[in-house]
Structure 1
Amino acid sequence: MQSRVQYVHNKLSSVEVKDTTRILGIFGVGGVGKTTLAKEIYNSFLNQFQYSCFLANVRETSEQGKVLIRLQETLLREILGDSSLKVQNEDEGMGLIKKMLLSKKVLLLLDDVDQLSQVEKLLGDCDRLGDWLGLGSLIIITTRDEGLLTNYNVHLPYKMKELYQDEARRLFCWNAFKKEEPSQGFAELTENFLRYAGGLPLALKVLGSYLYKREEIKFWEDALEKYKRILPDDIQGKLRIGYDGLEESEKNIFLDIACFFAGEREEYSLITIDEYQCINMHDLLKVMGKEIVRKESDKDPGKRTRLWFHEDVRYVLEQNKGTNNIEGILIDLRPKEDLIHLSPGAFEKMPNLRVLINRNALFSKLPNYFSDKLRVLDFYNYHGTSLPSNFNGKNLVDLRMTMCKLKSLGNKFKNFQNLKLLIFEECDFLNIIPDTSGLPNLKQLSISRCVRLVEVDQSIGSHGNLVQLTIDNCPKLNSFPSSFNSRSLKFLTVNRCGSQLSFPEIGLEIKCLQVFGWNFTGLKELPPTGNLTQPRYLNLEVKESNTKLTDYLRLRNLRPSKLDSSKFTNCFSTLVNLYLLGSTFVILPGWMDRFVRLRRLCLSQCKKLKKIEVLPPNIESVDAVGCTSLESFPEISKRFEFNTSNLSELHSINLYGCSKMLVNVGSHVAAILRPQPQKRPRNEGLLFPGNKIPNWFDHCKETSSSCSSDIFIELLNPSVINGILTCAVFTYTHEVEFDQLFFISITVNYDGRRLGIIDKTHCLKASDGQHVWLDFYDLEPFTLAKGSLQIRFECNSNGTLLKHCGVHLVRNDEKNAKSYYSDYSDSENDDDEECYSHSEDDDDEEYYSMDDNLEDGDKD
């Protein structure tokens, strides 16, 4: 595999990237190792990109309904670092991707694509990629369809072939023996199995895993004899080897997964679990499983155990050809062919039906019978107001109803004693969730966009096994549990529901709650959270004083009297992000240092804030954008001028628009801004008012108000470089909106070869005067020989111009810090006049004047 990685890497590296976006397409049969190669290529380029995203299983995800939206969300969240970002529809997602990623150089892997539309809804048209992504981006696509790559004009197509003999041996041995060579006495048998695997990675994994810990040579010999009955070139037969080794119950699980499911937890070599705890089953294994089912009856679908092919499903339901054999049906019809003329009594002929999943079919008649053996009922557009009267439901485990006309579940709801998962989505006529005390095994209740829902029974608040309760966009909901005391509850979110809902009491029994959300639901003040012992994610949106608590607490427009430490007693040891936006306090409370895990503090638009004197001990980032009264922030001097602060993690401060602040920066700032791998991968740098580059910078340039600038450095002697500290002074040419995004990109080239890139985005508001931005590009220590180093600055925001640029090479022998004062006054002692400029329009007094016009009640 490594030789393939090196070959493709060299191909990609040989392409000029300055003015283009590279696209690599890897194609080949299922199971040949396309994804493995793509991951290796992705990782080999990872350190060259500030922004990267790996979208796995695009095809399978896209088949599950609305999941292209999920992929769009994942892409935006990974690139922008915003885990709360939501996409409502595919068109909105395309617009956001185009807007937000336009100036960013992105490394993106799309794994297992099978339709051109999937790529286009994530990246747009190939001929217009420059309108979607920043130049220099690298896109990697894996697919079985070579034609798809041709249609998308992929620059570098690569056909993935079977493994070479030595690669196959290593892969097989790692799975069979957990080492690179076979154990003593198994060398010859290993070579025999390699011949049967034919170099297909998936087959090697399945065979090796099947034989793992089978230490009897006779077992291997017997298995080999068994395999000889399977044609060597029959990949399906080889994959079935692992299946034949399963117990009967395990075979049933495997076939259910192959034909219907993703999400079960199993630990056999035929399936794997992804990072989202969902089952991944390779395409060939799915095909194999379906072929096993098909051969149960070659000519009569009604005699098979499982149906999924749309023609077979239609035939059985319309021609009334069901039998006792049928255990599961997946209905997924072609577009514009979604009407099924249901034969009367069609379901009555299937009394052993365990699984019924209808993804998109419309029925001409209402089903009048469901088997009492049903364990999974997932139904789209069920147009009855209740379930069939003869349906017992005692075996039902999973009930999901989408766009159905159910008004209630009726009295039989209490019979669903095995029910674990209950989901209602867009059921416009559902008006009540009744008493759930008769559902002792219920673990998840999710209700979304049920516009007539008015009541959720009080019993759900004390349910003994409930783990997750989610209610979203139910605007008429006005009756809800007044308290929650469930020991098992981990996730509780209520979003955009009735404005009259009262905030529930959180009982003392709540020990496990990790995610708690109450958003846009009429909350008028911050409620007590004292009984929450471990609120990893508490998200409260307060009307007129917008609130979020989690790892994360967001308070908007908060008055000083409301910022009471007693509200957060049990959050001091868990809170990670604290947002105090637009609040009117003058001094940051002294008890802030009690948030021992707090990493990020946002004080944006706190226009009356004058002093920040105490910060949490492990704080990493402070955002004070628009704090126009801020004049005292001692930790800035301690940390960035004198390097005496105890806040060793503090590395990012944003003082955009804080015109009264005087900022001092020493050359040791490079060590502070240098990102620490795995600890803070997305460093935001320093941003503060100012109009010049620090005078200790090695190389400075005035740009005459342009959007880009290059600094060239001729290296006359070999130099050991640890990193590059960059600085830019910028200004706005006209008024911009509050949510204006400021993009700056810095590219580092050495003798025409790109070493790396910094892409940063800040969300800013229009402000008078110029601002300084400092950041660090990290390099592993290495020696640069004689040659030319080029650092290119690009500002890609409307109305934003660069005034000055600077570069400081950080070497092993970096000397002690010098200081830099960012005031607007001229300095007679500055040695490098080129490094700064003074504008006659800048007002010196603005830095030092005091705003005494405070409202009553807001003074110290």
Structure 2
Amino acid sequence: MGTPLVSNGDSWPEFKLVQKIVEDISLKLPKCQPSNEHYKKGGLIGIEENIKKVKSLLSIGSKDVRIIGIWGMGGIGKTTLASVVYQELSSSQFEGCSFLPNVKEECERRTPYHLRKKLLFELLNEKAILKMDTPFVASPYIFDKLRRKKVFIVLDNVDDWIQLDALVEGYDQFAPGSRILVTTRNVQVLKKVADQNIYKMEGLSHNDSLELFRLHAFGKNSPPIDDAMLLKRVVSYADGNPLALKVLGCFLHSRNKQDWKNVLYNLQKFPEQNKIFNVLRTSYDGLDEGIQNIFLDIACLFKGSFTRSEAERLLDSGDSPVKIGMEVLVEKSLIEDVRYGIINELRMHDLLRQMGQKIVCDRHTEPGHHSRLWDAKDVCHVLERNTGTVTVEVILFNLSEMTRDVEVCRAALSKMCNLRILKIYFDNYISVNKFKLHLFQGLDSYLSEKLIYFHWDFYPLESMPSNFTPENLVELVLHRSHIQKLWNREVQSLPVLKRMDLSYSALLTEIPDLSQLAPNLESINLEGCRSLVRVLPCLENLDKLTDLNLKGCSKLRDFEETINFGGIKNFLSKIFQQQFPLLKSFINNNILSLSTPQSHISQKFPMNLTVLNLQRTPIDAVPLSIGSLSGLVKLDLGDCESLRSLPTSICKLKSLESLILSGCVKLEKFPAIFEPMERLESLIMSGAGITELPESIDNLISLKDLNLDSCKEIGFLPNKLCDLRKLEYLNLSLCSKLENLPPLPPALLSLEVQFCESLKSLPDLPLFCERVYARHCTSLEKISDWRPSLQQQLNSESPNFCRPHRCADFMGRFANFFGCEKLDQNTSNTIIADYAIFKIIKAVNSDSDLNFCYPGDEIPKWFSSQSSGTSLKIDNVRTCPEFLVQQSNFLGLALCVVLDLNKIRPQDYVIIHFKLKFKTNIDDDCPPDFYAERFLWANKKCLDHVFIWYVPKDLMQHSEDLSTQKWLSSWSSDASFHVWASFSHDKVKQLESESCEIKKCGVWFVYKEDAERFNAETVRSI
């Protein structure tokens, strides 16, 4: 074993060193360029040349920001090409990446705003974005992030400009080198933004078409068809379309020569203009009738990707071979397995879905004679005019697509005796009340006895039709309905009913005795049924029940009774005060969320719980017996405002990984921890009434995240905090009574102490702390001299220091002491300033920028070029601007300003703009500018502050291509530097700022040799 790294007498965790070494080696390993044979092995015939052309358009080495388009017909391989390019470039070339599949379908199914939120989260990896209602791409905060992060975005299947604009508005302001790749069938989408960077995707060549067809028709076996002319004629009908070739090849697999000739004969009968559809139709026609119906169901019911379980839930009536049918469709390439992240899903290609819908519509001109209805206009027509017939088997009606109010005819469903699936739903609740579906006259009693799936959001009647005999009903969903009771008569049986969801049916007062009616029920959701009074007697003998949700049923009065749920796995409810000795509770076989309206918890818990959620319940104590839940992984007691104590048995929860006590305002003490908790990684107590932590806190041996944010009563922390060897994140913000901190844990990466108004000093920071957030610590006077740790780092031989930016070195990428106006001058002008410069030197190999802020009015001495005001001239620059296009010792720019913030206004987003301009020997032309922008939120009037940024060379933006001979031969060694400020709010255009004055500015050209000089001088000064 090697010598452990030491910081303040503590060894740095060995696993961290190993992890960083592996990361460094991985980065240095050469990347292999896939060969044509590699692509062929993956079934990607003929793709290599396309990849080269797209990569050429991407021009990864250039510093501009550009959109590249791939345009072509459906099935031609646009998505496949984009996926391969994304996989090859995203892992090493960019800092943030996102692939959004099926943009058109996702925008139809949800909204562009949902996709935009997903896109920004994937690029920036900030959970706060998920909580934003509409995270504007153009907001100053998000723009500032995107300006500094080189990103690669793929937007697949975009079909109009509105979608593109909603997702990447202001893309030209992204960090230099960022790329956006768009696939579309509509070239007009690209004309506005990528007119010169559009790649038209053509069909495969004859040889490639033949190879792809052979792969799917014969696999690895020798072709049983030796007639080259027959092969050529069959392949020609696919017209080079990869999807058609795959489908046709799979269809002809294992068939004899006569079958091939028959297929060719049938193809010749179809019109030439529908070539591709004809090929696809041939494969459909070769399916058994049952599998044809499954294909048509999927084509009409699902947009985009879907899971197998979703398809089975909707289509399986118990005797239908849905599972087998889907396997056949996958084998025939009529649906495909796709993988998005960690999720495996199924997807039907647009062309195939359109073909399936066309097959349905071609059978009759009147929608009421179609077997499946999915278009909102057609459904409205049939329901209003009562034109439905026995042909109708499926109705899919998205109420969000209604363009007017519709009155349903009383007998609209009476003729549809073969109706299997009725789904009337909302997928966009923004327009939920805009138009309504009225049943002023009610419905005739008759509903098809073949119904297996009945889903009606906002069902407007008080009960189900009285003569409905639901003997084949598998799933009943009535979200937010007006129903008061399910039936006004006695129903004989619901023998195959598995799932019932009546959530948020606020008028529902009772449910029937399901113990006798529906013995096969597996899931019941009654969440939000606030008028429901009695439930338990109706459920007593449901042995197959695995999922029960009674959350929000605030009027339930029957918990006193004993009930046997022998098979319950998922008990999402407010009934946890009841003792259920046989309860076995899970979500998805391993998770349970429980909550209770009572002020106590039963002494007996379900023994198999893994997640227990008692959030926002009025419990005042947790019993000692909780320690018996040996499998509990997560315990959430957040916002339990009456909770006063936790038992010491909490330490017996040996599987516990997360404990949440946030908002428990009456909880004053955390219990003593008498034995090690080996798995607890996260302890969240933000906003709790905690006044102290136990000295035994060192028994939390695996703790990584300790959040005491807004614990305003805590006055001190135990000295044994430093023994939490794995603690990485410590949040003490708004702990207003804290005056001092104990020694900090050695593995700490992030320390937040903002608004700790009583805090007077900070201890030595651990060696690898990368983030210090100390805004508005108004009593902070002193920060420990960190130079002993610095000397240790400078002298270390550890591989960790080969790439310090990878291992979260010393003070890190972010240190904010804004508003700490009591800091003494030595701390501000020497300790913080010198270590800001040290951090820049140690991060010279990084492609990330750095930010520092502290009170002061002096530009650090290391900024050799500095001046009062907003401009300065720089003479005899060592390297002319060709450093941006050629290899050199130049690494980046360090920028510094002193701001007078005495006039700052609340909610101002201040943006500091920097421009660097080199002189040239060309008199009649203006040279390119080098520019940068940095965002800060200085929202409180205060004294002068120093702001320091480091901008790596790769993130410097310039206004023109520097590689032209014109510029390379004309640079002089003189330059000018200018800085100015603007301000903005969200959605407000940037304006020149009058709320802050730039008093001084400085710029420092950072070179590799500066590191050696700085290290030597720093060591001499220690």
Deviates more, 1:260-269 or 1:482-491: 482-491
Q: Secondary structure at the match of 2:307?
A: coil
TM norm structure 1: 0.71
Aligned twin of 1:633: 764
Aligned equivalents of 1:237, 1:737: Cα separation in 2 = 67
- 1:434-453 aligned at under 5 Å gives the runs none
Could you tell me which of 54, 69, 74 is aligned with 2:118? Answer: 74
Does residue 255 of the first structure (1) align with residue 322 of the second (2)?
A: no
Does residue 111 of the first structure (1) align with residue 240 of the second (2)?
A: no
Could you tell me which of 597, 621, 642 is aligned with 2:792? Answer: 642
Does residue 236 of the first structure (1) align with residue 357 of the second (2)?
A: no
Aligned equivalents of 1:639, 1:191: Cα separation in 2 = 74
Asked if the contact 1:693–1:727 (Cα under 8 Å) also holds between the matched residues in 2, the reply is no
Aligned twin of 1:701: 865
Could you tell me which of 264, 267, 270 is aligned with 2:307? Answer: 264
Aligned equivalents of 2:519, 2:173: Cα separation in 1 = 51
- 1:315-330 aligned at under 5 Å gives the runs 315-322=381-388, 326-330=392-396
Aligned twin of 2:990: none
Deviation at 1:117, TM superposition (A): 4.5
Amino acid aligned to 2:743: E
Deviation at 1:282, TM superposition (A): 2.0
Aligned twin of 1:563: 693
Aligned twin of 2:375: 309
Asked if the contact 1:730–1:770 (Cα under 8 Å) also holds between the matched residues in 2, the reply is yes
Amino acid aligned to 1:656: N
Deviation at 1:85, TM superposition (A): 3.6
- Gaps (5+ residues) in structure 2? 1-46, 309-325, 427-431, 484-504, 558-572, 669-678, 768-785, 802-806, 921-925, 956-962, 985-994
Amino acid aligned to 2:663: V
Aligned twin of 2:775: none
Aligned equivalents of 2:604, 2:291: Cα separation in 1 = 39
Which has the greater radius of gyration? Answer: 2
Does residue 665 of the first structure (1) align with residue 783 of the second (2)?
A: no
Asked if the contact 2:384–2:406 (Cα under 8 Å) also holds between the matched residues in 1, the reply is no
Aligned twin of 1:280: 347
Aligned equivalents of 1:653, 1:439: Cα separation in 2 = 58
Distance 1:613 1:162, change over 3 A: same
Aligned equivalents of 1:492, 1:397: Cα separation in 2 = 28
Q: Secondary structure at the match of 1:702?
A: strand
Aligned twin of 1:806: 1004
Could you tell me which of 141, 144, 147 is aligned with 2:185? Answer: 144
Aligned twin of 1:656: 816
Deviation at 1:312, TM superposition (A): 3.8
Distance 1:121 1:310, change over 3 A: same
Deviation at 1:317, TM superposition (A): 3.4
Amino acid aligned to 2:116: Q
Deviates more, 1:367-376 or 1:194-203: 367-376
Asked if the contact 1:163–1:201 (Cα under 8 Å) also holds between the matched residues in 2, the reply is yes
Aligned twin of 1:839: none
Deviates more, 1:738-747 or 1:344-353: 738-747
Distance 1:8 1:52, change over 3 A: same
Asked if the contact 1:425–1:448 (Cα under 8 Å) also holds between the matched residues in 2, the reply is yes
Amino acid aligned to 1:733: L
Distance 1:32 1:184, change over 3 A: closer
Aligned twin of 1:590: 720
Does residue 614 of the first structure (1) align with residue 744 of the second (2)?
A: yes
Q: Secondary structure at the match of 1:234?
A: helix
Aligned equivalents of 1:139, 1:708: Cα separation in 2 = 37
Distance 1:149 1:724, change over 3 A: closer
Does residue 358 of the first structure (1) align with residue 425 of the second (2)?
A: yes
Q: Secondary structure at the match of 2:663?
A: coil
Aligned equivalents of 1:639, 1:258: Cα separation in 2 = 65
Does residue 500 of the first structure (1) align with residue 540 of the second (2)?
A: no
Aligned equivalents of 2:604, 2:909: Cα separation in 1 = 42
Aligned equivalents of 1:565, 1:819: Cα separation in 2 = 42
Amino acid aligned to 1:542: G
Aligned twin of 2:408: 341
Distance 1:48 1:229, change over 3 A: same
Distance 1:559 1:667, change over 3 A: same
Asked if the contact 1:52–1:78 (Cα under 8 Å) also holds between the matched residues in 2, the reply is yes
Could you tell me which of 187, 199, 211 is aligned with 2:240? Answer: 199
Could you tell me which of 703, 712, 733 is aligned with 2:901? Answer: 733
Deviates more, 1:314-323 or 1:792-801: 792-801
- 1:676-825 aligned at under 5 Å gives the runs 700-702=864-866, 704=868, 706=870, 714=879, 724=892, 726=894, 728=896, 731=899, 733-734=901-902, 766=940, 768-771=943-946, 773=948, 777=952, 803-810=1001-1008, 817-818=1015-1016
Aligned twin of 1:56: 101
Aligned twin of 1:601: 730
Asked if the contact 1:613–1:635 (Cα under 8 Å) also holds between the matched residues in 2, the reply is no
Aligned equivalents of 2:981, 2:224: Cα separation in 1 = 65
Amino acid aligned to 1:665: Y
Distance 1:244 1:10, change over 3 A: same
Aligned twin of 2:16: none
Q: Deviations over 1:125-147 (max 9, x none)?
A: xxxx4899789876554433445
Deviation at 1:410, TM superposition (A): 0.8
Amino acid aligned to 1:631: L
Pairwise CA RMSD of aligned residues? 5.9
Amino acid aligned to 1:770: H
Deviation at 1:633, TM superposition (A): 1.7
Amino acid aligned to 1:604: S
Asked if the contact 2:414–2:447 (Cα under 8 Å) also holds between the matched residues in 1, the reply is yes
Deviation at 1:381, TM superposition (A): 1.2
Distance 1:12 1:131, change over 3 A: closer
Aligned twin of 2:201: 161
Aligned twin of 1:35: 79
Aligned twin of 2:709: 581
Q: Secondary structure at the match of 1:665?
A: helix
Does residue 383 of the first structure (1) align with residue 471 of the second (2)?
A: no
Deviation at 1:600, TM superposition (A): 3.5
Aligned equivalents of 2:289, 2:872: Cα separation in 1 = 67
Asked if the contact 1:163–1:200 (Cα under 8 Å) also holds between the matched residues in 2, the reply is yes
Deviation at 1:96, TM superposition (A): 7.4
Q: Secondary structure at the match of 1:236?
A: helix
Does residue 410 of the first structure (1) align with residue 511 of the second (2)?
A: yes
Aligned equivalents of 1:257, 1:813: Cα separation in 2 = 63
Aligned twin of 2:397: 331
Amino acid aligned to 2:438: F
Asked if the contact 2:210–2:232 (Cα under 8 Å) also holds between the matched residues in 1, the reply is no
Asked if the contact 1:588–1:612 (Cα under 8 Å) also holds between the matched residues in 2, the reply is yes
Aligned twin of 1:852: none
Q: Secondary structure at the match of 1:381?
A: coil
Distance 1:437 1:115, change over 3 A: farther
Whichever structure has more strand as a proportion of its residues is: 1
Asked if the contact 1:709–1:794 (Cα under 8 Å) also holds between the matched residues in 2, the reply is no
Aligned equivalents of 2:1007, 2:218: Cα separation in 1 = 46
Q: Deviations over 1:2-21 (max 9, x none)?
A: 55555556556699987xx7
